Amino acid sequence: MKRKHIALFCALTLAAATSFSLLGCGGCAGTKTAAEKGATAEEVNYSALRHVEVRQPEEKLSPEAKSTYAFLLYSQALNDEDEAALLQAAPLMAAAKLPANIWLEGGVWLVSRKSAEAAPYLEQGLAVAPDDMSLNLLYAEALMEQGTPERGVQLMRAFLAKHPGSLDARLELALLLVKSKEYAEAETLLNSVSSKERTPLVDYYHARALIGMDRSAEAIPFLQKAIKEMPDFVEAMAELAFIHEQRSEFKPARTLYEKLLKLNFSPQDVLLRLISLSLRMNQPEKALKYMRQGPDTIPFKLTVAGLFIDSRHYLQGETLLKQIAARDDAPVDVYLLLADLNYEQRRDLPMALSWLDKVPPQSKAAPRAALLRIQLLGEAGKEQEALAVTRQSQKQFEDAPQFWELEIRLLARQQQMPQALEIARKAAKKWPNNADMAFLLGSLLDESGDKKEAFKVMEHILTLHPENYQALNYVGYTLAEENRDLEKALSLLVKADELSPNQSYIVDSLAWVLYKLGRNEEALKEIRRAVKLDEHVDASIWEHYGDIASKMGLKDEARTAYQKALDLKPANADALRKRLSQL
């Protein structure tokens, strides 16, 4: 977020005048030059040069004439706003060693256009004037704009090593370090800026570095100081408002957001933040007042309706959705939202289905409407109707595997496992690269007792999708249960935990294989982590906890774990009671 009044280049004066002589320019023969008319070189108007017709150079030109020719090509390219012509002129400019201020103006123009050629162009300029601070800063900016701030960091580090007293270079490096998420180095760099040298911009960057290190409380004074010295420093104001909001300091956050609104800083986004704040403060009427200040557009009002629904102000959210639905240009998504809302809040299935009926069958939203219809019918216990819609949708949306998956799940829920397996095999064959479909087949085989075939399916998934964390967990846990290839099982489960961290069932598997390997301390650490990750812990996880704690002689911990498992009424309750009695 940058503005002209805080840009690093706001103090640069891009000189337009040049001292090059026009003598030797083939297109000027027979015309009196400014020098012949008594004008000094400094009085030659740069803009006038832009209208001089450029002729191809002679085979042999003096160095002075080559400089003039290169400059004329450059000025004509800028005058015509011709990026290609400017890039063609760059090698001639480099050969003529045109001064840094000329390169700088061309570079600023390219950066302002977000041109991908800005960095290559500036590289040529730096070859001519490697120590020019403004060129180095602009090149670093260009690298950052093109998504390679790390290259800008290297450039600024090298420049700062040669020019340690350059405040602008330190600031630019700090900004690039923040962009590269190297916050600690940025903070160290900004701490070296003396109080006399500190500006609102320095304090702003300092705060950004602290925020990046999750030290928002320490960032507050820097942002407050920056805003005090520059009352319209909207970027600092926005950062401070968001910190207050995160800390549930709603009143100061609201005050800052309202100031941003008066300064016309991203008004739509600021209004959404004010609406969200008002809802968190349980002030829905205030939220509606802010909404009325926003644009009368469907995307804005849909977002506001979503905020009302997420904050459980369902009535206001539904009212907004109905207002949108009444418009001639209403998007079909609003019907899906109203259907979901009516069922979830009132369990009014007929009303929900009537909203879904409004979705045109040929629209892009039709598949999602069908999926929601099946889901609502299934939740309402109308499973046969849900199955009928599923099978109809399979014909209507032939390339959508979700409808096959829903049929399989509906059949499995009705304990029709042979039929579910038959459909799952067909679906897996129809979509051989679909990992979710294959995993569903493997899970059904496992539940049906065919664990050997299930294991083969899961291993096959890993050959096609080696980072499928669910298959990694299944194979790893199965190996641990069968007490074979334990090191392989450990590597699979470590990978699964890295790919999908803090999943209680994966952490449980990891603890179990460590236990099987005899690494009990590590197993205990992981199983303790597993039971803290979910509000509702599966009985098998508590059972594993009891076994690991018992192995380590932690009897009280084992008793608690076994009892928690028994409270969930598992199928192996008798075996657990026996283990509990032996402690």
Alpha helices in 192-297 (DSSP H): 200-212, 216-229, 234-246, 250-262, 267-280, 284-292
| Mean predicted lDDT score pLDDT of the chain | 88
pLDDT digits (tens, 9 = 90+) for 415-445: 999 999 999 999 999 999 999 999 999 999 9
Is 84 domain-assigned?
no
Q: For residue 19, tell me if it sits in a domain.
A: no
Mean pLDDT, residues 32-54 taken together: 43
Under the banding of pLDDT at 50, 70 and 90, the label for residue 160 is confident
Q: 278: which residues sit within 8 A by CB, 6+ positions away?
A: 254, 284, 286, 287, 290
- Rg of the chain's alpha carbons, rounded to an integer? 34
The full DSSP string for 350-370 is: HHHHHHHTTS-TTSTTHHHHH
Residue 211 falls inside a structural domain? no
CA distance 312 to 315: 9
Is there a domain that residue 525 lies in? yes
- Decide if pLDDT at 59 tops 60: no
Is the pLDDT at 503 greater than 90? The verdict is: yes
Q: Which amino acid is at 524?
A: L
CA distance 128 to 126: 5
Q: In the chain, what percentage of residues exceed pLDDT 70? A: 90
- CATH code of the domain covering residue 547: 1.25.40.10
Q: Are 171 and 201 in contact (CB under 8 A)?
A: yes
Nearby residues of 149 by Cβ (< 8 Å), 6 or more positions away: 143, 176, 179, 180
Rama region for 97: left / alpha / beta (φ>0; ψ in -120 to 50; rest): left
- Position 98, amino acid: L
Decide if 402 is inside a domain.
Answer: no
| Residue 516 lies in domain | 466-583
- One-letter identity of residue 217: A
* Residue 154 within any structural domain of the chain: no
How far is the CA of 318 from the CAs of 289, 291, 333, 337, in angstroms? 17, 15, 14, 9
Number of domains in the chain: 1
Read off the tokens for 323: 């207002």
Query: How many CB atoms within 10 Å of residue 85?
Result: 17
pLDDT at 64 over 90: no
Please say if the pLDDT value at position 462 is more than 80: yes
Out of 21-30, 462-471, 547-556, least confident range? 21-30
| Mean pLDDT calculated for residue range 80-89 | 92
Between 32 and 62, name the one with better pLDDT: 62
Name the nearest CA neighbour of 261 among 250, 252, 272: 272
For 508, other C-beta atoms within 10 Å of its C-beta total 26
In-domain check, residue 476: yes
Question: In this structure, is residue 54 part of a structural domain?
Answer: no
Collect contacts of 185-188 with beta carbons under 8 A, ≥24 apart. 186/212, 187/213
204, pLDDT greater than 50? yes
Q: Which DSSP string do the residues of 133-158 spell out, in sequence order?
A: HHHHHHHHHHHHHTT-HHHHHHHHHH
